[in-house]
Structure 1
Amino acid sequence: MVRIPALRRMASLLLTPLEPEDVLSLVNPLSSHRQLRGVVTKVTRETPESRTIHFRPGRGWNPHDAGQWARIGVEIDGVRHWRSYSLSAPAGADPAITVTAIGFVSTELVRRTKVGDILFLDVPQGDFVLPQHPRPLLMLTAGSGLTPVMSMIRTLVPRRPDADVVLVHSARTRDDALFHDELLELADQFPGLKVVHWFTREAQGRRLDLTDATDLETVCPDWRGRAAYACGPADFLDAATALWDRAAAEGAAEATTALTIERFAPVLLPGAGGEGGRVTFEKSDKVVDAPGDCTLLDAGEQAGVVMPSGCRMGICRSCLTPLVAGQVRDLRTGEVHGEEGELIQTCINAAAGPVHLDI
């Protein structure tokens, strides 16, 4: 009897320089020991500019928790680009991402993705997840910030008869509102879900004002007693954070630790940009003069350099690039740092004088 390891060695000798998995991937594109992949199984239109892309991951994928995100790679004109997207499917189901056509990669995904396409994947990550113990919840979302919260709602509400969730979602118009009809149907079907749509160009005709508690008191009078989750644009999250901080300072002790936020962009220190400098991309033979508030990642992409990236906000460290010479400024703190050979996060650092990168 021929053992499996012996068969594998024989196959490797016959297929050199290929590996057996390389040939198997021609039959099953999800079979790869080098890179986790997924095949697109369905593409659903959500709004004129948004699509939900469902995919079946290959071996090595870890089931996601509701609210987590994953890095997704897509090849465009022969170049693999990575971006981070929240997973909108409920926990326990095959994953899906809901993408709005903003930015180069997202626009390509919305416009061109079709059933059968292959996505490159990284495992789910993130701590923006449901609390371990049941309690009343308040979800504050704006725009595409609804995506991770939708995963939470789809996971919790149909499965827990004791669910108590208030969702306040801000969008420009009804046509722009992600999952609008599904949310109303869920609210009709499950009494534990209350949905408030806040339309800034219809109905209310203005932005949800979180500079004080007036609007929040109107839509959710018991907001101080709920575990709150917020996701959306930076100014929306900054206002929510400030409101909860004030509530805590005024003696609403339950509001002190009851707000969990998910940001899609790093928190940058105002005025931390400095003077900028000339950035040389050694291996790409590209040079660009970058202002002090421009990240090295953006500077490289604008110069046509294929830059590694993922979350683009200083979390996943996929953008790490060796520094050959010069110093950089962390736009979150204003700190200037850099030594030869240091791995630099290009998504949150800018040039602080002349910089040479090994890419």
Structure 2
Amino acid sequence: MTAVLPLRTASPAPTRRPLRTALWRVAEAVVHPLLPSDYLDLVAPLRAGADLRARVVSVTPETRDAATVVLRPGRAWRGHVPGQYIRIGVDVDGVRNWRAYSLTSRTDAPDGLLSITVKAIPEGKVSNHVVRALQPGTLVHLDQATGDFTLGEQAPARALFVTAGSGITPVMGMLRNHLHELRDVVLVHSAPTRDDVVFGAQLRAWAQDGRLRLVERHTDTDGILAPADLDELVPDWRFREAWACGPTGLLDAFEDAYAEAGLSERLHTERFRPVVIAEGEGGTVAFGRQGTVVEADGATPILDAGEEAGVLMPSGCRMGICFGCVVPLKQGAVRDLRNGELTVASEGDGVRIQTCVSAAAGECEIDL
């Protein structure tokens, strides 16, 4: 009789996760107060799983005070819709400043590159640095694209764009991606002189080819563009879907005019806001949703300052869980206690910070 032996099943391979976790904790202990990922960032800053960053590929002048910056984003980049903007974090004199700029690139670029176009403004620390000093190869921090100043799902039969200064940038993003879908386009653009028109050569080439009608208003000679001018410049403006972007005064005037005409639903606007942040050593920390404001010195982590004031602070630090204390900085400035770097945000930015290693550097507001 032939004996039938039971089949042997292979023992499951031991999981490597506990070993990997143990090694990671050893690495954390060795490099404390930094994290192992801080060192990985030096080698592969655009890798999957890293904080979203981009590397500057080129900086090309558009006018005397505007330049287009081409960026190679990290692997976490999720793409954008034409007309949206991104926030970039740029280090200027040891201070990380976040600013929002419209995307001006095509969404289907085969090389995966992005572009923003920045206009230097008087006393603008970040915009002047970007236009005049930012170098190819520089790493900048990046947020995912956002914003609803877009064409929407269906292209309008007749479109009107009203822009002034750098307000042309989100519209250029739309035109580069959607102009082939638009059959009847009028662009009214205002700038001090002909040479100050950002993307002037491209816009005039499209106009010459009959792809759009371009109306340039040079304020040094023609005066400030007003809603009443549309009756002469674009007589059928009331029947067009309209997008406007530019200085606050221009947008206020056009919103009032469209409201008076009963056409508010036809006008879409995008507002650029100035950024003024007062930096210091220590300051007030406002926990917006909990309605608590505390004074904190420049050496006390916001996590500790909040807990001492009775604020319910998210945290996993004491259990060995990193990044459990990460919350949005709505506005203001904080200093990283590990390296002294400042992070600056303006209202609505929602830049995420670690409260266990961040201290107030002036007035700031936390979204808690």
Fold similarity call, TM over 0.5: yes
Q: Does 1:243 align with 2:279?
A: no
Question: 2:125 maps to which residue?
Answer: 104
Q: Take 2:226 and 2:116, find their aligned partners in 1: how far apart are those partners?
A: 29
CA-CA distance at 1:299 after TM superposition: 10
Q: Take 2:49 and 2:67, find their aligned partners in 1: how far apart are those partners?
A: 29
CA-CA distance at 1:22 after TM superposition: 3.9
Conserved 8 A contact 1:172-1:201? yes
Q: Does 1:184 align with 2:204?
A: yes
Provide the secondary structure at the position in 1 that maps to 2:160: strand
Q: Does 1:264 align with 2:303?
A: no
Q: Does 1:116 align with 2:137?
A: yes
CA-CA distance at 1:15 after TM superposition: 3.9
CA-CA distance at 1:183 after TM superposition: 0.7
TM-superposition CA deviations, 1:251-295 (whole Å, max 9, x none): xxxx241000001128xxxxxxxxxxxx7563239xxxxxxxxxx
Amino acid at match of 2:272: F
Question: 1:146 maps to which residue?
Answer: 168
Conserved 8 A contact 2:188-2:215? yes
Conserved 8 A contact 1:11-1:20? no
Matches within 5 A, 1:222-233: 222-233=236-247
Matches within 5 A, 1:268-279: none
**TM-score of the superposed pair, with normalisation by structure 2:** 0.69
Q: Take 1:307 and 1:116, find their aligned partners in 2: how far apart are those partners?
A: 21
Could you list the runs of 5+ residues in structure 2 that have no partner in the other structure?
1-12, 275-282, 285-294, 300-329, 336-340, 356-362
Matches within 5 A, 1:300-315: 306=342, 308-309=344-345, 312=346, 314-315=347-348
Q: Percent identity of the aligned residues?
A: 39
Question: 1:208 maps to which residue?
Answer: 225
Q: Take 1:262 and 1:24, find their aligned partners in 2: how far apart are those partners?
A: 38
Conserved 8 A contact 2:59-2:67? yes
Conserved 8 A contact 1:89-1:95? yes
- The number of aligned residues is 286
CA distance 1:80–1:4, change in 2 (3 Å): farther
Could you list the runs of 5+ residues in structure 1 that have no partner in the other structure?
249-254, 267-278, 286-295, 323-327, 329-340, 346-359
TM-superposition CA deviations, 1:155-199 (whole Å, max 9, x none): 111x32x4321110000011211000111112223x341111110
Conserved 8 A contact 1:21-1:32? no
Matches within 5 A, 1:76-87: 76-87=92-103
Q: Take 1:45 and 1:316, find their aligned partners in 2: how far apart are those partners?
A: 27
Q: Does 1:133 align with 2:150?
A: no
**TM-score of the superposed pair, with normalisation by structure 1:** 0.70
More off after superposition, 234-243 vs 110-119: 110-119
CA distance 1:342–1:236, change in 2 (3 Å): closer
Find 1:316's aligned residue among 349, 354, 363.
349
CA-CA distance at 1:28 after TM superposition: 2.5
Conserved 8 A contact 1:64-1:92? no
Structural RMSD (CA): 3.4
Provide the secondary structure at the position in 2 that maps to 1:217: helix
Question: 2:8 maps to which residue?
Answer: none
TM-superposition CA deviations, 1:187-240 (whole Å, max 9, x none): 223x341111110113x2x11122xx3x10222111111110000001000010
Amino acid at match of 2:267: L
Q: Take 1:144 and 1:221, find their aligned partners in 2: how far apart are those partners?
A: 25
Larger Rg: 2
CA-CA distance at 1:42 after TM superposition: 1.5
Q: Take 1:13 and 1:75, find their aligned partners in 2: how far apart are those partners?
A: 30
Matches within 5 A, 1:338-349: 343=366
CA distance 1:2–1:49, change in 2 (3 Å): farther
Conserved 8 A contact 1:82-1:308? yes
